[in-house]
Amino acid sequence: PAPSDVTATPGARGRPRPQRLTVFSCPPGALSAPASCRCRRCCRTMAFVTRQFVRSVSSSSTASASVKKIIVKHVTVIGGGLMGSGIAQVAAATGHTVVLVDQTEDILAKSKKGIEESLRKVAKKKFAEDPKAGDEFVAKTLSSITTSTDAASVVHSTDLVVEAIVENLQLKNELFKRLDKFAAEHTIFASNTSSLQITSIANATTRQDQFAGLHFFNPVPMMKLVEVIKTPMTSQKTFESLVDFTKTLGKHPVSCKDTPGFIVNRLLVPYLMEAIRLYERDFQMCGNSNLGLGSSLKGDASKEDIDTAMKLGAGYPMGPFELLDYVGLDTTKFIIDGWHEIDAKNSLFQPSPSLNKLVTENKLGKKTGEGFYKYK
């Protein structure tokens, strides 16, 4: 949700957070006009250092307790889309209390309906011989999920905030900057981003040590893997707490540094892009830039044969073009464009003319009825 849709009254938090320090490393006049300060990174660093100092002078009993990992019981999920709903579902199904947040009640109603339908599918398989137990499982899980359109008013009592909104760095930064003011001191922040740098998101807050990436995979209820992303500032306590949390969800966590694409997408997206290049190569070499996609485009191999080859030869469940359409061509384009901005000289991060053309025409894959393939 856009930060303008997230409201809260002062005092929603249990206790005040130390104020940001902007005195050091800032040019004269910067304090009276923060927007003009060119040393924001220094300011954030000072705020972070101040936070650590305040913690270090806490009472011995508090210090002793702080070394213990956070046991996540209460989870707030920001974003009621496919990923956010899936995360909320698996958290509630494993004994956590969940608040699902989005911009409107209509979006949340659709999210809850989708979660219920997904749970019934799970229950039908899991409790095939005991339908009554399946109904109880669905009812109990749904009762653990509440919804809200006001994120800032619910994070004061949560152990973990998982963000799963649109892949827009500015929106994520504004969201976390606001939530940072209202969340409890112990609350861990995590982003489900698949393409943005976690450090860039964490820098919007004063809790970089309590910020990490939690990258789930679609569909969340079915996919076992979760990438736990540790930035240079993420504390070991935060990292271990998130690893333990993913295990309670019945997932298999793998750890990775804050590198573009993390593990899976760093390997998967270049593979998908190379499949497209294999398909469009003659098209590019011949300079036929005005040709459209279809029978007139003759590459090194057809998309059908490429998909068949990878399924039968490599044992993949889906071919690259099938997977591209399933994921969404706009999603792949967004990721590769972002990486290209970071490292334009990297041959693996080069954009694709045919992918760009399909996205421009709003042929995004299964969700729009047409991508590299047509769907009824």
Give the model's pLDDT for residue 278.
95
pLDDT in tens, 232-277: 999 999 999 999 999 999 999 999 999 999 999 999 999 999 999 9
Asked, for residue 141, whether it belongs to a domain, the answer is yes
Q: What is the CATH number of the domain that holds 351?
A: 1.10.1040.10
Residues 181 and 318 in one domain: no
Cβ atoms within 10 Å, residue 171: 15
| Residue 59 pLDDT > 80 | no
Give the residue-averaged pLDDT of 293-315: 83
Asked, for residue 298, whether it belongs to a domain, the answer is yes
Residues 140 and 238 in one domain: yes
Residues 238 and 286 in one domain: no
Per DSSP, 19 falls in state P
Asked, for residue 35, whether it belongs to a domain, the answer is no
- Residue 118 annotated as binding? yes
| Residue 202 pLDDT > 90 | yes
Residue 195: pLDDT band with limits 50, 70, 90:
confident
Contact in structure between 176 and 154 (CB atoms under 8 Å): no
Asked, for residue 37, whether it belongs to a domain, the answer is no
Asked, for residue 78, whether it belongs to a domain, the answer is yes
User: Is 227 marked active-site?
Assistant: yes
Q: How far, in Å, are 17, 34, 63, 213, 318 from residue 255 at the CA level?
A: 30, 37, 27, 10, 26
| Active-site choice (173, 215, 241, 322) | 215
Split into its structural domains, the chain has a count of 2
Write out the residue range of the structural domain in which residue 143 sits: 74-257
Alpha carbon of residue 275 to chain centroid: 25
Residues 214 and 124 in one domain: yes
Copy the structure tokens of residue 232.
């240079």
Q: What is the CATH number of the domain that holds 187?
A: 3.40.50.720
User: Is 194 marked active-site?
Assistant: yes
Q: What is the pTM of this model?
A: 0.76
Residues 344 and 288 in one domain: yes
Asked, for residue 46, whether it belongs to a domain, the answer is no
Give the model's pLDDT for residue 51.
57
| Active-site choice (163, 185, 227, 280) | 227
Residues 175 and 311 in one domain: no
Residues 363 and 249 in one domain: no
d(CA 39, CA 36): 9
Instruction: Choose one of 196, 227, 257: the last residue of a domain.
Output: 257
Burial (0-12, 13-18, 19+ Cβ within 10 Å), 103:
middle
Helices (H), 127-212: 131-143, 151-154, 169-182, 198-202
pLDDT in tens, 6-31: 434 444 444 444 444 333 334 434 43
Residue 281: pLDDT band with limits 50, 70, 90:
confident
User: Is 215 marked active-site?
Assistant: yes
pLDDT in tens, 351-372: 999 999 999 999 999 999 999 9
| Active-site choice (194, 203, 241, 354) | 194
| Residue 39 pLDDT > 70 | no
pLDDT in tens, 61-95: 444 444 589 999 999 999 999 999 999 999 999 99
